[in-house]
Homo-oligomer: A and B are copies of this chain.
Amino acid sequence: MTDLKRLLEMALRSEIDSRDIYQKASNMTKNALLKEKFNFLSGEEAKHKILIENIIKMKFPNEEIEIPESTEVPLPRITVSEKDPISKLLTQAMDAEKETSKFYANIAKQLDEENASLMQYLSSIEMSHYYFLQAERDLILKFENYDQYFEMMHVGP
């Protein structure tokens, strides 16, 4: 069984990777509204990283934090390229958020009450990101291209 410190370090890697993905997604889309959503998610993951670092510092004072090169099982990797439709990236990000949420809920079980609350909070927030991404993905899949949706947002008098 992987020890607690290693699990938390994997969580750090997961936040770094998620942040990278949302920044990449933000760069991939030309739509200002969707860009803003990805930037918000990217900012959220950056704050989660700080929160997890602080949990590690409290639980393992005086120990070096070693962030693994890549996430391991059970966290899925995102493998989209810039040629892929944005819906593919959103679907992979949804999977990653859902698995990260479960992963964090499991880490929470190994922590003291206060830190468990923080980890459970992160688990819940990642799940809210899942639903947020799902709504965007489903809309994109229904319209031929996302720009159509943005045109509708800008129709006006």
Contact = CB atoms under 8 A, between A and B. Distances in A.
Interface of A: 33, 36, 40, 43, 47, 50-51, 53-54, 57-58, 114, 117-118, 120-121, 124-125, 127-129, 131-132, 134-136, 138-139, 142-143, 149, 152-156
Given A117-B142, A124-B131, A128-B131, 4 more contacts: A47-B153, A57-B155, A118-B139, A120-B138
Contacts of A124: 131, 134-135, 138
Contacts of A135: 121, 124-125, 127-128
Interface of A is mostly: helix
Sorted nearest first, the 8 A-B pairs with minimum C-beta distance are A124-B135, A128-B131, A128-B132, A121-B139, A117-B142, A54-B155, A125-B135, A54-B152
